[in-house]
Amino acid sequence: MDIELDSVTVTEQITNAAIYSALILLVMVTLLILQVIFLRVRFLYTGKQRHRLLKKWRPKITQVMLGDSSNMPVLPRNEVCVFLEEWNRMFGTVRGNNLAQLQNMAKKFKIYYFAISMIKTRSVHDKLLAIITLGHMQEYSAWDELTELLDDESSVISVTAARALMWIDSKHAVELIAPKIMARNDWTWSNVAHVLRQANPIQVCEHIANLVVNAPAEAQPGLLRYLESTHCLQLTDVINNILSTTEDDRVASVCLHITQDPNSLKTIRQYTSHPRWHVRMHAASALGRLGGKSDLKLLLNMVEDENWWVRYRAAQAIINIPQQNIETLKQIRDTQSDKYAKDILTHVIAEAE
């Protein structure tokens, strides 16, 4: 009898547990549905509110750009973000006196104080918006706050701060940003190059050239490409110095790839027998850009190289040398005894034709 009662009790407990679990699951699903509905309604409401504010501020900002700053409404705190988004968008599309008009508008609305408070928020969107705004305003008063953000753990925020500093004062900003290029491994090449292009090339060259010369070998390739992207006048001297001293094949490859100085030909020719194939390949390409008829013999030796890419670049270089053309390349091919040399020259001739 006791056994039967215990069995009934266990069955009831299992049934009750199942019912409670189903009820909990039902409540959770209901809450999830309500949350989705709430987010959807909020999204629609925010979108309509944003559209309404854009209709309000877009013509006002355009009016200021045209030189008329009369009848400006008060800027409420809850409309600041939408206003700044449109203000910054307009700022990126105009030049000259229109920029000054927009900056004056921001000063009249005391945007500086809004932006400084937004920088201290946790919202990444608001922080980025504030940084861009202060940069466009060329607000020197925010220099210290923006400088601190160069060390922010977020690469997006730190790079945006670097760009804003460039807009405010590129000469002094380069002095701060150049050392960060090596320290911040999370800064992408394209972002840094874009930031550096905001400054006068002469200002950039001086700092980046010093960085390249004193940098460890693993950092030099990236820094050299920054110099190239800013069309640095000191690039030639830096490359020639590195080519004559470096023992790192990656650094040598980059130098050979970007060099445009005929005076470095003597050094370039030495790299045509380098043990690493990619160095020989870039040396062949450099001879095609800078070499002359005296380099023809050297390039003919390279079309017999064991590596296909070296042979290919050497064959291309031959046709690029002055006084060489497809007909002379065919004549050269017909005199070759090496099978690989004939094949690669035939390949390049077909491409050229």
Residues 191-219 pLDDT 10s: 888 888 887 777 777 778 888 877 788 88
Q: Can you tell me which residue has the tokens 């950092």? A: 219
**Percent of the chain residues topping a pLDDT of 70:** 95
139 to 81, 85, 115, 269: CA distances (angstroms): 18, 17, 11, 52
The verdict on pTM exceeding 0.85 is no
CB neighbourhood size of 287 (10 A): 27
The half-sphere exposure of 239 on its side-chain side, counting CA atoms within 13 A, is: 27
- Better-predicted residue by pLDDT, 45 or 82: 82
Rounded to the nearest 10 degrees, what angle do helices 326-334 and 339-352 cross at?
160
* Distance between CA atoms of residues 104 and 110, nearest Å: 10
pLDDT-derived band at 335 (thresholds 50, 70, 90) equals: confident
pLDDT tens track for 100-153: 888 888 888 888 888 898 898 888 989 999 999 999 998 898 999 999 999 999
Least confident of 50-54, 208-212, 287-291: 50-54
* Interval 185-189 mean pLDDT: 83
* Interval 180-186 mean pLDDT: 82
Q: What does the domain layout of the chain look like in residue ranges?
A: 234-353
Q: Can you tell me which residue has the tokens 């189903």? A: 22
pLDDT for position 161 = 94
Q: Is 327 exposed, middle or buried (0-12, 13-18, 19+ CB in 10 A)?
A: exposed
pLDDT tens track for 89-109: 888 777 777 788 888 888 888
To the nearest whole number, what is the mean pLDDT of the chain? Answer: 84
Least confident of 42-51, 129-138, 334-343: 42-51
pLDDT-derived band at 6 (thresholds 50, 70, 90) equals: low
Q: Is 56 exposed, middle or buried (0-12, 13-18, 19+ CB in 10 A)?
A: middle
| 234-353 CATH choice from 3.40.50.2300, 3.30.530.20, 1.20.1250.20, 1.25.10.10 | 1.25.10.10
pLDDT tens track for 215-257: 788 888 888 887 777 777 777 888 888 888 888 889 899 889 9
> Residue 259: in which H helix or E strand, if any?
none
pLDDT for position 147 = 93
pLDDT for position 46 = 64
Q: Which residues contact 342 (CB under 8 A, 6 or more apart)?
A: 333, 336
- Better-predicted residue by pLDDT, 336 or 149: 149
Nearest to 114 by CA among 91, 137, 96: 137
- Sequence-ordered strand ranges (E) for the chain: none
* Distance between CA atoms of residues 64 and 98, nearest Å: 8
* Distance between CA atoms of residues 224 and 199, nearest Å: 17
Q: Is the pLDDT of residue 23 over 80?
A: yes
Q: Is the pLDDT of residue 190 over 90?
A: no
- Helix, strand, coil content of the chain in percent (nearest 5): 80, 0, 20
pLDDT for position 4 = 52
DSSP structure string for 51-82: HHHHHHHHHHHHHHHTT---SPPP--GGGHHH
Q: Is 180 exposed, middle or buried (0-12, 13-18, 19+ CB in 10 A)?
A: middle
Helix (H, G, I), strand (E, B) or coil at 174: helix
Q: Is the pLDDT of residue 158 over 90?
A: yes
| Sign of the CA dihedral running 169, 174, 175, 180 | positive
Nearest to 118 by CA among 144, 145, 141, 98: 145
40 to 33, 45, 52, 53, 350: CA distances (angstroms): 11, 9, 18, 20, 61
pLDDT tens track for 267-286: 999 999 999 999 999 999 99
